[in-house]
Structure 1
Amino acid sequence: MAFSWLLVVMFFSTKLSICGGDVGDFSPCLQFFYKSSPPKGLTGTPICQRYSNQYRFASLYSRVRRSAWFSAYVYSVPLGKRPSVAWKYEPQLAYPKANGNMALFPPGPIDLNVVESQAVDQDYINSSFSRGHLNPSLHHHEYDDRSSTFTLTNVVPQKAGSNDGPWETLEQTVNKTLAAYCIGKAYIVTGIIPYNNQEHWIKNKRVAVPEYLWSAYCCPQFNNSLPQYLRSAFPTYAAIGRNDRNSTEEIVPINKSAKKQFFGYDVRQMSLATLEIYLKQRFNTVVNVFYDSCNGQSNY
């Protein structure tokens, strides 16, 4: 199916399936976006991701792909080790009047409405893809915030060579940079870029596989001790990472000297403006990640 046709199908399916509560409306969780403004240009089903009766982050979900277009959150300096928690799902995607909190998958058979509305654990088992966080637990301080990221409405099929290699390095780099130099809140949006002409799917044709992942942060205020090499990285910076080692190199070149397990899964860091050019080319529409391109103020 051509990607342009998929966007049309997705748009109308979203219009027909918008639910009440925390699904279908970003208004309860605008605090996770810079200037309370979600990215412009992408269509899907908004989810205010709620865990333990508190909003933790926001995702724009694709019912057709059974995964998110992006997740948006506010960065905080992490504390402790990565939590070991069970994977969760979004009940309101299956039942509009369901409790707004994400829920643990049951130990037995899963409700068919849940299976139809979103990805489940079985989609990823023996699939050759890992569960790739868009909003990573690494970028959060509180235990419940970190635990909330382990929901399948916040992950996409990601090759281990990306998830455990260059993409993880990017997440660590962003963590260290923002912890050291960002004053106040830092807003992050992480999303995917689909294949250009034909969707790729996990083994059972239920969950779509992205060709690339992208991420951008917005730090409106930063301190005056920035080293020279980081002055182009504020107030905002971005990156695109390969999720297919066989993709062409127009967007992200391949590091020919990379280790075998990470070969072809490189990440290219770039300006926000450059990222938005690539998003426009692939989605065939203008995409604005941050309001006013995160026109922040520094103390330097």
Structure 2
Amino acid sequence: MKIYGIVCVLVGVFLALAECDVVSKFQDEPGCIKFFYKGKVPIWGENTAGAAQLCQRFQNRFHFATLYNMHNRIAVYSAFIFQPNNGGGRETRWFVEPQLVNQNWGGEMREGYWLEKDYPGVYQGDKQALNEDYTFSGFDRGHLNPNGFHAVPSRNATFTLTNVVPQNPKLNQNAWANHESKLAKLFKSQCDKAYVLVGAIPSSDNWIIKNDVRRVNIPEYMWNAYCCINQNGVPIRSGAAIALNTEQNVVEEYTLSKMMEFLQKYSETPVGELFDNQCQ
């Protein structure tokens, strides 16, 4: 697998990781691997050409992890732990990942406008989507990791363009939103901790096109999967769902096993477990 990344190094005699968020492996960063149940990173997506493993950093700490496809300029998936929402409203800013522009830049997600002020004339969109790609595209900036699944400041951190995909507005604002609300209620009422994966299946040849350039792949499907554990760390329930990214506006609920069968249709190699021991 070709990974665009940087290596965090030990500095001096202190065993402290340098601040970075585009990493060679999620496992290399303790603050990032915690978003995967028992530290198990799915095999799904690891062979994606031009993939980057992002530890999403905002206000100097990690909030979730994203496997990002720099060719399609959409995420393969985002991995996170559910948090009850404490309000705070929606972000008005959309962030980009500086290290997808230059691996030597700071790892903190930045608003593109201010990144341009620091590095005037440097194009930010070679390896990631930009806010203007979505403008007048007819598609929503569909969160994979939902802002409503977090408390501030993790909620703010979800407003990075590496965490969104072009989503059909009818689906995003109706069936998918309703499914997310259903999951949030379930996680709050029945789970002491919920590990969640949300991803997108890219289309074969459907893109947001700007100035005759294929900029952002429009996914064929949205999908999610979760693993709930109790206060003793024992799995108590799991589930998954898919939705065709069209005005059909339907979400189908799956088991984890059925989700693996679904993902296998889009993989030439074994998909493997999404969670350690299939959340059992």
SS of 1:206's partner is strand
% identical equivalent positions: 35
SS of 2:124's partner is helix
Contact 1:189 / 1:215 at 8 angstroms: preserved in 2? Answer: yes
- C-alpha distance 95-265 of structure 1, shift in aligned 2 (>3 A): same
Partner of 1:114: 124
1:289 to 267, 274, 280: 274
Letter in 2 for 1:150: F
Alpha-carbon shift at residue 234 of structure 1 (Å): 4.9
Q: What does 1:96-245 correspond to in 2, within 5 Å?
A: 96-106=103-113, 111-141=121-151, 143-183=152-192, 185-195=193-203, 198-204=204-210, 205-221=214-230, 234-245=236-247
In 1, Cα distance between the equivalents of 2:68 and 2:131? 17
Alpha-carbon shift at residue 117 of structure 1 (Å): 1.9
Alpha-carbon shift at residue 42 of structure 1 (Å): 1.2
Residues 254-287 of structure 1, C-alpha deviations (whole Å, 9 max, x = no match): xxxxxxxxxx021001101101100001223322
In 2, Cα distance between the equivalents of 1:45 and 1:105? 19
Report the structure, 1 or 2, having the larger strand content: 2
Matched, 1:30 2:33: yes
Partner of 1:79: 86
In 2, Cα distance between the equivalents of 1:97 and 1:178? 39
What do you get for the CA RMSD once the two structures are aligned?
2.0
Q: What does 1:250-265 correspond to in 2, within 5 Å?
A: 264-265=248-249
Partner of 1:298: none
2:95 to 70, 88, 99: 88
Contact 1:221 / 1:235 at 8 angstroms: preserved in 2? Answer: no
Matched, 1:55 2:62: yes
In 1, Cα distance between the equivalents of 2:226 and 2:160? 22
Residues 146-172 of structure 1, C-alpha deviations (whole Å, 9 max, x = no match): 000000000000010111010001110
Residues 200-220 of structure 1, C-alpha deviations (whole Å, 9 max, x = no match): 101221111101100011102
2:71 to 58, 61, 64: 64
Letter in 2 for 1:278: F
Letter in 1 for 2:5: I
Partner of 1:228: none
Give the TM-score taking structure 1 as reference length: 0.79
Alpha-carbon shift at residue 111 of structure 1 (Å): 4.7
- Deviation above 6 Å: which 4+ runs of structure 1? 107-110
Give the TM-score taking structure 2 as reference length: 0.84
In 1, Cα distance between the equivalents of 2:148 and 2:45? 26
Residues 170-192 of structure 1, C-alpha deviations (whole Å, 9 max, x = no match): 11000000101112x21000001
Contact 2:66 / 2:79 at 8 angstroms: preserved in 1? Answer: yes
Gaps of 5+ in 2: 8-19
Matched length: 251
Alpha-carbon shift at residue 222 of structure 1 (Å): 7.7
